[in-house]
Amino acid sequence: MLILGIESSCDETGLALYDTARGLAPGRAAPEGLLAQALHSQVAMHRDYGGVVPELASRDHICRVVPLARSVLQTAGCAIDAVDLVAYTEGPGLAGALLVGAAVARSLAFALEVPALGIHHLEGHLLSPLLSARAPSFPFVALLVSGGHTQLLRVNGVGDYTLLGETQDDAAGEAFDKTAKLLGLDYPGGPAVSALAMQGDPTRFKLPRPMLHSGDLEFSFSGLKTAVLMLVKRELDTQSDSAHTAQIRADIAAAFVAAIVEVLCAKSIAALRQSGYAQLVVAGGVGANVQLRQSLNAAATREGFAVFYPEPALCTDNGAMIAFAAALRINARGVPQANNVFSVRPRWDLTQLG
């Protein structure tokens, strides 16, 4: 079965083709099924505004989705009428952006007389490490860290997800973006803060580790953001020496990253111990963070568990994870009946999936 995946939940338009005969057949590896993918990022467009502008994001998806679909089909050497199912991100995400992908997917499926399948955006991220050459097997604990979500889940199979803990306020990615603004860095904040932190001393300033010793698997990052704000006001607002200021900014960034990484690692280890599992999957945009990966790799060696990440190209929002999640769902539950139901879910609890 040839699946066309469409991702348009926020500020990246992603298209991909996945062939279940090549990726899910006995004796085949999952990565073999990914025939082609294409991605357009809106970062340059949103940078001037310091964050994603929903209306601009939606309009850009409209401009990009069809050309990207043509590019993917051409790269794979497939005709459009070879597509057997169209998968799309149904939610969560920006309502207008989701509607673009859903409209294209449903219209295309109707024209081709094939089924369309809405996929949960976070399920796409959650299952994306299975597309890597070094892939985990079920069951495992998953750390989902992105711009809007920070969650720990127990994953026993496709659709079998149990929430172990999540953020009570800001997600880790939001904390990165807000800290970047405080430090005068460009959008997107995560990569910028991480890069700046590499030039700093993480021990110069002491920042709080929110809920590190809470005894549960919940997170909170709004207080850490506030602590950075107070530190910036105290250390930077009174400085006039540009060279000295630059080093202070790097040291604050390093202290911030160290605090976030320590909390994420500690809670992940606690979740593994609580579940009794020996595999940790890390997915979502923040999962690409260099310091987080280094810390988790060291913890895995020390604690005796295995840790898995998506390929770097699959850490961002992308069509490959949507097509692949659809392939796994079909493999587990069968092909859905073709219908004309049209819906998006800007808010959608991952644990509601069956």
Using an 8 Å Cβ cutoff, are 197 and 253 in contact? Answer: yes
The DSSP bridge partners found for residue 116 are 86
Q: In the prediction, which pLDDT does 50 show?
A: 86
Q: In the prediction, which pLDDT does 240 show?
A: 64
Give Cβ neighbours of residue 233 (< 8 Å, ≥ 6 apart): none
The CA distance from 124 to 105, in Å, is: 16
Using an 8 Å Cβ cutoff, are 99 and 58 in contact? Answer: yes
According to CATH, the superfamily of the domain at 137-309 is ATPase, nucleotide binding domain (3.30.420.40)
The CA distance from 209 to 115, in Å, is: 47
Q: In the prediction, which pLDDT does 183 show?
A: 94
The CA distance from 271 to 276, in Å, is: 8
Cis peptide preceding 188, ω within 30 of 0: yes
Give Cβ neighbours of residue 282 (< 8 Å, ≥ 6 apart): 129, 142, 143, 145, 268, 292, 293, 296, 307, 308, 309
Q: In the prediction, which pLDDT does 171 show?
A: 92
Question: Structure tokens of 152?
Answer: 């720990």
Look up residue 219 and give its DSSP letter.
B
> What class is the 2-128+314-352 domain?
alpha beta
The CA distance from 1 to 85, in Å, is: 8
Alpha-carbon distances, residue 297 vs 20, 157, 279, 300, 303 (angstroms): 32, 24, 12, 5, 10
Cis peptide preceding 139, ω within 30 of 0: yes
Using an 8 Å Cβ cutoff, are 103 and 344 in contact? Answer: no
Q: In the prediction, which pLDDT does 274 show?
A: 96
Nearest 5°: the CA angle 104, 109, 113 is 155
Q: In the prediction, which pLDDT does 241 show?
A: 65
The CA distance from 325 to 89, in Å, is: 10
Q: In the prediction, which pLDDT does 272 show?
A: 98
Say if 2-128+314-352 and 137-309 have the same CATH topology.
Answer: yes
Give Cβ neighbours of residue 234 (< 8 Å, ≥ 6 apart): none
Map out the domains of the chain as residue ranges.
2-128+314-352, 137-309
Using an 8 Å Cβ cutoff, are 208 and 223 in contact? Answer: yes
Amino acid at 300: A
Q: In the prediction, which pLDDT does 122 show?
A: 94
Cis peptide preceding 202, ω within 30 of 0: no
| pLDDT tens, N- to C-terminus, the chain (354 residues) | 999 999 999 999 999 999 999 999 888 999 999 999 999 999 999 998 888 999 999 999 999 999 999 999 999 999 999 999 999 999 999 999 999 999 999 999 999 999 999 999 999 999 999 999 899 999 999 999 987 889 999 999 999 999 999 999 999 999 999 999 999 998 888 899 999 999 999 999 999 999 999 999 999 999 999 999 999 999 987 766 677 889 999 999 999 999 999 999 999 999 999 999 999 999 998 988 999 999 999 999 999 999 999 988 898 999 999 999 999 999 998 888 877 778 899 999 998 887
Q: In the prediction, which pLDDT does 110 show?
A: 94
Provide DSSP, 155-197: EEETTEEEEEEEBSSS-HHHHHHHHHHHTTPPSSHHHHHHHHH
Q: Where does residue 180 fall: left (phi above 0), alpha (psi -120 to 50 degrees), or beta otherwise?
A: alpha
Q: In the prediction, which pLDDT does 313 show?
A: 84
